[in-house]
Structure 1
Amino acid sequence: MEFNPRIPKWRQVADEIQRRIEAGEIGYNDVISEVQLERELEVSRPTIRQAIAYLRDDLKLIETIPGRGSFVREPTPKKP
């Protein structure tokens, strides 16, 4: 992944994870592996954790269960 120096790296990582979720590459209830993302995207663990925190706290796409990990949340139905 090529990073834009004008955008915080954690935000670009969050956008990539969100893209993967929306494309179905990471499905409902799948574990978000910090180690795997760290290797794939060649970024530090704190960067991954900041991205996951944003996706969890702000976008509500991920749920974190202490001692188990972070998972993709069940999609909420869209209102008509």
Structure 2
Amino acid sequence: MIEYNPRIPKWRQVADEIQRRIEAGEIGYNDVISEVRLELELEVSRPTIRQAIAYLRDELKLIETIPGRGSFVRENKPAP
């Protein structure tokens, strides 16, 4: 469980936590990002998890989403 800062959007704090887990190797290449597990662990709603995943996918390019299969950690971070 994270101690949430009320001055920062909750979805952003969740995205930061997921990013930290990816960079620490807790979530590895090709691992499924489980919305249900994160929802329970981080005690946030599913829309909050989805907004965080969308940010990590669309802005940071850390994960990819395959329709019908889920969201996965990308193999390599793209070059800036």
TM range (shorter): over 0.9
- Number of the residue aligned with 2:24: 23
Deviations 1:4-37, CA, capped at 9 Å, x for gaps: 0000000000000000000000000000000000
TM-score (normalised: structure 2): 0.94
The aligned amino acid for 1:45 is R
TM-fit CA distance, 1:75: 1.5
Q: Where does structure 2 lack aligned partners over 5 or more consecutive residues?
A: none
- Taking structure 1 as the reference length, the TM-score comes to 0.94
AA aligned to 1:43 is: V
The number of aligned residues is: 79
Q: Could you list the runs of 5+ residues in structure 1 that have no partner in the other structure?
A: none
Distance 1:40 1:64, change over 3 A: same
Paired AA for residue 60 in structure 2:
L
Q: Which has the larger radius of gyration?
A: 1
The runs of at least 4 consecutive aligned structure 1 residues that moved more than 4 Å come to none
